[in-house]
Amino acid sequence: MNVVEIEHLTYAYPGADSPTLRDVSLTIEQGDFLAVVGNNGCGKSTLCKTLNGLIPQFITGDYRGRVSVCGLDAAAADVGALAQKVGYVYQDFENQIVRPTVLDDASYACLNYAQPDYLERGRQALAQCGLQGREDDFIWQLSGGQTHLLALAGVLSLQPEVIILDEPIAQLDPQHADRIYAVLRRLNEEYGKTIIVIEHHTEYIADFCKHVLLLKDGRVQWKLPAGDALQRVDELQSCNIFPPQVTIAADRLRKAGEYHADRLPATVEEGCAVFAPRARVAPDAQAQPAPRGAEVLRFRDVSVSYRSVKGEPHRVFQNLDLSIHKGDKVALIGSNGAGKSTLMKLMVCLLKPSQGEIYLNGRSLRGARPEGLSREVSMVYQNPEDMFIRDSIEADIAYAMKVRGLPDADARTQALLERFRLAGLRSRDGRLLSGGQMRRASLAIGIALDPGILLLDEPTANLDIATRKEIMHTLEDMKQVTETVMIATHDMQLVCEWAERIIVLCGGHVVADGPRDAIFRDRRLLETVGIRPPEIFAMGRALEPGAACYTIDDFVRRFTGRAPGAGVQEAAV
Amino acid sequence: MKTIEKLSENILDKLSIDFLRSQVLKNAYGNNDTRIAAMDPRMLLVWYLFFGLVPWFVHSVPFLIGCFLLVAVTTWMARVAGLVLFLFAVGVFSQTGYLFLVTLLFGGDASAVVPLLTLTLKVATVSLASVTIFSGLDPDKLANGLMWYGCPERLSFSISYAYRMLPLLMEEFQNVLLSYRLRGNPPAHDTFGGKIRYLVYQVQIVMHAFYPLMLNTAKRSRTTVEVLEIKGYRYAAVNKEVKKIKLSALRLTNDDLLFAAVSFLWVAVAILIATLV
């Protein structure tokens, strides 16, 4: 049975020149787990919003064609009736939560639709999302992943047949992302819900989804079973979708004539059957540890605690000792709440340690003010919107230089706009830019004063994969500009490709500190801290316990396709 | 001068937004387990109507002292956050306390105390009664209480939504403020003049920071508005059934009756004493 039937749907936003969706025809079967993929702006979110009637009932525009969901005509049926058939979880899901406490929010929709057992329904939805026991918590007590689950529970409480999620895991660390997908799988398999996700993370598509729908320029390219869809590496990449690293590696080997199996693998398990180590391995170019520069930052015996709303202050660090040297390219990793942001705030003097000393270039930060440090340390927030304090990005970049009366402020602003490819957007308000542009603007603002030390909080969070690649490229480019850079991140691909030194925080302590080999080869450490290396690293490990492939290039250098019908013996060079 | 100096040093440091935030949160969410918080909002609103209005029209000092003592106890019971009490003290002083100082300065004597005391007691009683209700009750309950008395649903939704947004807004405001601090170039503040300029600069920053905050909030609210639509907010606003379900959670308990009785008795005794004196 089809839960969704779309016939010749064409839709243009009010005032838009060209339609966002063009002649879309599509059916989705009941019980499907569908991933919608496509370039930025190809109409994914728009398509999903036609399913619950928001388009055209709430957002008008030029709408032609027919959308039917569970037998209801989405353009004509009551939005309330549709909401009980189709649930929608937004990408910016925090804004979806409108009530102060957990149970209240989960049951809010049921209350509004006058269901007398609304609390019971809310509780049931929370249990389905694994949030039982948190009913009476305030929403700001939840972590990012739990907040997402709550947004899902709020939608689920009406027990809709179709649930749509817009980029469910873009902001989450891998543990939370796994949890979300485990919940979705349960909803799909146990409760028979039809799940539609807009998703860029093809690893998750490979593991969880049944079908993939590719949209391009508002048109449906195809809808295929997930396994077949991920075989189309070139087509996906042309739409800025990056198949799993394992698939890309196999595709690369196939193009070199070294891969002989019919299908490309999509997961590590499938990869085990089709890859084999090369007989002779070109020795890795051993990265020589660069000589350590002078010490620029030093934490001595630092303890920090936060006030909390109730009860004892929350202690973040206890007796922390750490040195950062000139020229270090540090990645700071650790689970949510391990103290990454706190450490950065200490460095720019936004927080004072309750005990201990911090030295910047040999000078104690006790009594220093953030205003006085801006030329030595600069910080770029996780949320770039909070960095836009003027009405154009040009004014934003120039601000710190202008207020200091630097003579070459204008020239330098121009140079930065060029460097970060923002020249055409100079007069736009930062908030109105796309994710990647916003991020580039915030980086330009961060290095405007040419600081010796640059701190970046999650520079690749919340970006789709194509934009993320672009930002990673920008960061690589910035290595030449700024001497010492520290990045706090969950993004292990970024860590592997960019960092020269990795500091692992856990429970308020530095539990490991060293180059990537020291961190990623330490299996026990990875398990205790909950770090997940990139998929390609795991693939290498699964084939050969001693392998350490951080990038697809590393992998292809070391492994090749297994010969047809052969064991693990050969490899042409 | 000392104060100005202190204020200039402190405004962004000691009295940091972080501190404000924790106090506001404490006030809004931190005391939902007190006796006052557990009471029926309808009863408390009636109680407040009495202690918020009657003191203005009575001039008997014993009666006012009686009322003041009672609301002082309820404020204590509501475990109101320190900042609110501090603001209360500043408020009362700015209303009447300084008058007493001025009187003394211009050759007045202690006889000025009695009329001033009456005014101070009135202001203090009414303020503490407000503090008890608005800070002791959790905003959602307050909203439900107001709705029961026929206030429009939109008002009660706004109250609880404001409290839901408060932590987010404060965090965002803090971040925007930090942007100004990290990138700004404050005037030197070694001299007295410099300190004044620094104070002005800081106040300016706080005001400037509202502009990005507004824009960020506007950006957020797009999703929220759509979600309210889906979650049936508009549907509920016109549906009598929903209101009935919402208000069915309100229940008068023995505690409420006891509280009302004790308040009533106390006021009666105060009136008795006032007539005897």
Could you read off the pLDDT of A110-166 as tens digits, one per residue? 998 888 899 999 999 999 998 988 888 888 778 778 899 999 999 999 999 999 999
Q: How far is CA A77 from the centre of its chain?
A: 35
Which chain B residues are Cβ-neighbours of A112 within 8 angstroms? 231-233, 235-236, 242
Which chain A residues are Cβ-neighbours of B175 within 8 angstroms? 381, 383, 386
Separation in Å, CA of A393 to nearest CA in chain B: 13
| Tens of pLDDT, residues B130-142 | 888 887 777 778 8
Structure tokens at A504: 């692992």
Which chain A residues are Cβ-neighbours of B79 within 8 angstroms? none
In terms of Cα–Cα distance, which of A285, A321, A202 is closest to A553?
A285
| Tens of pLDDT, residues B199-253 | 888 888 888 888 888 888 888 888 888 888 888 888 887 788 888 888 887 888 8
CB-based contact B230 A99, cutoff 8 Å: no
The confidence score (pLDDT) of residue A87 equals 93
Q: Is A137 part of the contact surface with chain B (CB cutoff 8 Å)?
A: no
What is the C-alpha to C-alpha distance for residues A361 and A368, in angstroms, rounded to an integer?
13
Give me the residues of A, 81-100, that contact B with CB < 8 A: 83, 88, 90, 92, 94-100
Which chain B residues are Cβ-neighbours of A104 within 8 angstroms? 140
Mean pLDDT confidence for A541-548:
88
CB-based contact B239 A114, cutoff 8 Å: yes
pLDDT at residue A396 above 80? yes
In terms of Cα–Cα distance, which of A132, A148, A136, A53 is closest to A95?
A148
If you average pLDDT over each of A159-163, A431-435, B161-165, which comes out highest? A159-163
Q: Is A310 part of the contact surface with chain B (CB cutoff 8 Å)?
A: yes
Which chain B residues are Cβ-neighbours of A348 within 8 angstroms? 182
Point out the residue among B26, B186, B212 whose CB comes nearest to the CB of A309: B26
Q: How far is CA A95 from the centre of its chain?
A: 18
Give me the residues of B, 45-74, that contact A with CB < 8 A: none
pLDDT at residue A382 above 50? yes
Give me the residues of A, 144-183, that contact B with CB < 8 A: 154
Point out the residue among A95, A370, A429 whose CB comes nearest to the CB of B181: A370
Phi, psi of A164 (to 5 degrees): -110, 130
Average pLDDT, chain A: 88
Q: Is A313 part of the contact surface with chain B (CB cutoff 8 Å)?
A: no
CB-based contact A140 B180, cutoff 8 Å: no
CB-based contact A109 B230, cutoff 8 Å: yes
What is the C-alpha to C-alpha distance for residues A277 and A570, in angstroms, rounded to an integer?
9
What is the C-alpha to C-alpha distance for residues B123 and B93, in angstroms, rounded to an integer?
10
| Tens of pLDDT, residues B41-54 | 899 999 999 999 99
Point out the residue among B176, B181, B235 whose CB comes nearest to the CB of A371: B181
| Prediction pTM value | 0.82
Answer for the pair A296, A326: CB distance below 8 angstroms, yes or no.
yes
Mean pLDDT confidence for B102-126:
79
Residues for chain B: how many in total?
277
Point out the residue among A54, A309, A374 whose CB comes nearest to the CB of B25: A309
Q: What are the CB-based long-range contacts (under 8 Å, 24+) for A284-287?
A: A284/A554, A284/A557, A287/A500, A287/A515
**Res. A288 pLDDT band, cuts 50 70 90:** low
Comparing alpha-carbon positions, the chain A residue that sits nearest to B215 is: A431
| Tens of pLDDT, residues A184-218 | 999 999 999 999 999 988 999 999 999 999 999 99
What is the C-alpha to C-alpha distance for residues B8 and B236, in angstroms, rounded to an integer?
50
Structure tokens at A515: 């180059």
Q: CB-based burial of residue A243 (10 Å sphere; 0-12 exposed, 13-18 middle, 19+ buried)?
A: buried
Comparing alpha-carbon positions, the chain B residue that sits nearest to A431 is: B216
Give me the residues of B, 126-145, that contact A with CB < 8 A: 139-140
**Res. A566 pLDDT band, cuts 50 70 90:** low
Which chain B residues are Cβ-neighbours of A92 within 8 angstroms? 220, 223
Give me the residues of A, 509-538, that contact B with CB < 8 A: none
Point out the residue among A80, A370, A388 whose CB comes nearest to the CB of B182: A370
Better-scored residue on pLDDT, A82 or A338: A82
The interface pTM score, or ipTM, of the predicted complex is 0.80
Q: A291: which DSSP letter?
A: P
CB-based contact A309 B180, cutoff 8 Å: no
The confidence score (pLDDT) of residue B7 equals 47
Q: Is B254 part of the contact surface with chain A (CB cutoff 8 Å)?
A: no
Q: Is B215 part of the contact surface with chain A (CB cutoff 8 Å)?
A: yes
Answer for the pair B4, B199: CB distance below 8 angstroms, yes or no.
yes
